[in-house]
Each structure stands twice: as structure tokens, then as C-alpha cells.
Amino acid sequence: MSLFDYSISELHKKLHSKEISVTDLVAESYKRIAQVEDKVQAFLTLDEENARAKAKELDGKVGKADEYGLLFGLPIGVKDNIVTKGLRTTCASKILANFDPIYDATVVQKLQAAETVTIGKLNMDEFAMGSSNENSGFKPTKNPWNIEYVPGGSSGGSAASVAAGEVLFSLGSDTGGSIRQPAAYCGVVGLKPTYGRVSRFGLVAFASSLDQIGPITRTVADNAYLLQAIAGVDKMDGTSAPVDVPDYLSALTGDVKGLRIAVPKEYLGEGVGEEARQSVLAALKVLEGMGATWEEVSLPHSKYALATYYLLSSSEASANLARFDGVRYGVRSDNASSLIDLYKQTRSEGFGDEVKRRIMLGTFALSSGYYDAYYKKAQQVRTLIKNDFEKVFEKYDVIIGPTAPSTAFKIGEKIDDPLTMYANDILTIPVNLAGVPGISVPCGLGANGLPLGLQIIGKHFDESTVYRVAHAFEQATNYHKQKPVL
């Protein structure tokens, strides 16, 4: 049995009683990486020397304090678009292949304060643009359940590393489903917090009004531990919300009696596979048996979410990625004959096809003569989508549906069809547009033996209720105990 088969609270007790050491945990992580990384390819950079030194330092603290934080000494992986001081941060892009940041993201500082150990930086779709991890500028990550399949994206490395047992938990980022969809594909738990709940300072921006950092773990309780550590207002992030962070663990009561669940008909309709639909209906039956009630509702503007999202996110990306020009940091082209040529050559050589596609789409949407027709219109539709959620939440506590329309697809199957690939996020995107929290928890396996995810969506800053429902469902089922065999 791996040490990573234990929960955070169990490992905390073992460390406290000196049954195991931090050095043991870190050694376990690198041992597992050595065994499976050539198959999974979840990591872009490993920080073994520093991690082992940090483990030794933390072991020296054991027994010298009455209390340690619950994350004390635990190994974590960090998505490669979250900056880490002195540890290469590439966003899985060739344009940042040599970038070593000079500061830590706020979430990284908080993890250091909690005395976790960073094992390395995790693979992703380049600049978080993609749903399969095939858009990485370096290598595709594979799904631990079947390495012929994608792990989802853009936080594919974050989800795959946890599913494969390489780290206990990881951080991802979610712009349109990039935590929840790979969590569903890899059979783990992934939360996108409310926009503003977790600081974005030090997260390399894709779409600033949508991006949110969140935790990926094996269980709901572990997820709550990790969010507790990273949530909170940050003076370095103007979009971080000055809202108190509750005790998430106290919400894990297992009690959902009287809970009112809304099930949008749009989330079980056209485009959603039968397996995904049936797994949600089965999950609702479980929650119903525990005293919750559910009704079908409508989120009528959901059908416009995909077009709205790709216009807004691409517009923001075209502005955010303008800074990568070969002048200040990152890779610089050697073939330029002038300043303009330097910009052109660097960006042509450094960015991948998907990033270029979105920059061009965004630049077009923001250009003179098209701004009102596309960008402004998309912002107006975003407001309608947000209003749909608020209307449903007047009467219901949570919204439930599938995380993704199906199980994971094969590597290479959709890479040449961007529109089909984009449609894969149809169930997660509305949550980002509305800024509300959403979690994906395992809810079964498809006929191909790959995991299915249940998505639970809550009101603004009500992660506690989301966790309560997710935990109750998890405790009533055994889906979270199923693991891939590598």
C-alpha cells in the first residue's frame, strides 16, 4: 500500500507520531515518478534536490512544536503556469522555455507557509489553452487509466499526477473547465472556486476575468484542506474578494437532508452521452435516498456559453499574451533583422498553433468595426448567463449535472477538429462565465473503463455547500476508491 493511499488527516497523524517522516513521503513521490512518469508524462520540471533538502529540514521540526499545519510535510505538484521563484515556469510553451521567475505566486507562498514540499511543475496545454493536454509545447500527458487516452486539459498534468499516485495533491487553474474536466477524465476530485476566492497573483494570465486557481485531490476532504490553505483576500490581486474564508471541514457532515437540487435540462440534453446522463441520474437517486430533493430547471442562455466564452477568453488572451515579445523575458529569436521582425519571429517560433489561433480570434473580436458586434455582445450575453444562475439559486441550493459529455477520448482523435474539441467544455464553461464555484467528483466508469465525473455547482462563495454535497455523495459510494493500474 502506498503512503499516498492515506488521506491528508491520516498522514498528518503518522507524521505527528513519527511513524513516518517527511523524507519518507518525498522519497515515495520520486520513487513513484521513476516508476510511471515515462508512461504518464505529467511533469515538465522536477525539483528533487530542493524537495529532499526541504524534507530533511521539516523532519528536524517534528517534535519541537505542539501543533503542525494539516499540510505539513506533504508533497504537492504545481501547474506550470503558476510562478515559482527560481523553479522554471514555462506554461508548457517554447516561448518561456528558459524562464526562471524571481518571485512566488501568492498560492505558492501560502503553501510554503503551510510547509508543504513542492515536487515539481506539471504539464498543461500551452498557456492553458486546450481540453486534452495535446497542446503542450513539449509533450502530451497521458491518462493513467489508459495511456492511449487524453487526461483532459488544460490541467491534464495536475489531474494525471494525482490519479497516478505521483503526488498527494496538486494545484491547477480553471478558465473554462480546466480543473473539473481533467479531474473527471482522471477519476479524481477537482474544484474551481468562486472567482476571487483564491488569489491570481503569480498565475500567468490566459483570460483574467475567468482564470481561477483550485485544488485537485483524491478525496473531497483533502480538497477542502487544500482550499483552506490557499483561499483568502490578497492585496497583490485587485480581483481577490474581501470575503471571510469559512472552515470548510466543518461542512463535511454527510447530511444533505432537505437539500434542494436543480438539474438543468440543457445539461442532460443534446450532445451529452448516455453514459454521462445515466451516471448523473444514478447520483441523484443516491442523494435522494439521503433526503435531498431535485427538480429539472432551465438555464436558457447556456446554449450561447461556448461562443461567448471563446470570444471573451480569446480577446483577453490577445491582450495578455502581447507581453511575450522576446524583449523582456523568455526566448528571443536569433533571426531578427529589426525590432518588428524580432516580435514577429519570436512569436511565430515560440507560440503553438492553438495559441496563435486564439490570439488571432481575440485580436479580430477587439478590432475597430467588430468590437460592438462580437466582444461587447459577448459581454452582454455573459450577463444573461450569470442571471440564469442567480435566478435558479433563488430557489435551489446547488445545481448538478455531468462534468463532461463523455469519458476521455483517444489521443489524436480530435486534435485536428478545434470546434469539436471546444465543444468538450460545454458543461463547464457557463460556471466560469458566471463566476460561481463548481466541483467534479468521480461518479462511475464508462463501458471503456474510464472515469465519469459529476459536477456540483454552488452559489457565489458557497464552496461549503458544494463540499457538503460532494462529500455526502462520496461517502455513500465507492467511486473515489477506484484507481488506475499502471
Three-state SS at 441? strand
Q: What is the 3-state secondary structure (H, E, C) of 140-167?
A: CCCECCECCECCCCCCHHHHHHHHCCCC
Active site residue 79: yes
Burial class (CB in 10 A: 0-12, 13-18, 19+), 158: buried
Point out the catalytic residue in the list 54, 79, 121, 192. Answer: 79
Active site residue 154: yes
The cell numbers describing 105, all together, are: 505566486
Measured at the CA of 470, the angle between CA 242 and CA 227, to 5 degrees, comes to: 35
Q: How many CA atoms lie within 13 A of 166 on its CB side?
A: 31
Cis preceding linkage at 313, omega within 30: no
How does strand 293-297 pair with strand 260-264?
parallel
Question: Residue 405, Cβ neighbours under 10 Å: how many?
Answer: 18
- H helix or E strand, kind and range, residue 70: none
Point out the catalytic residue in the list 155, 170, 173, 178. Answer: 178
**Residue 468 contacts residue 251 (beta carbons within 8 Å):** yes
Point out the catalytic residue in the list 29, 93, 154, 318. Answer: 154
- Residue 438 β-bridge partners: 192, 457
Residues with catalytic roles: 79, 154, 178
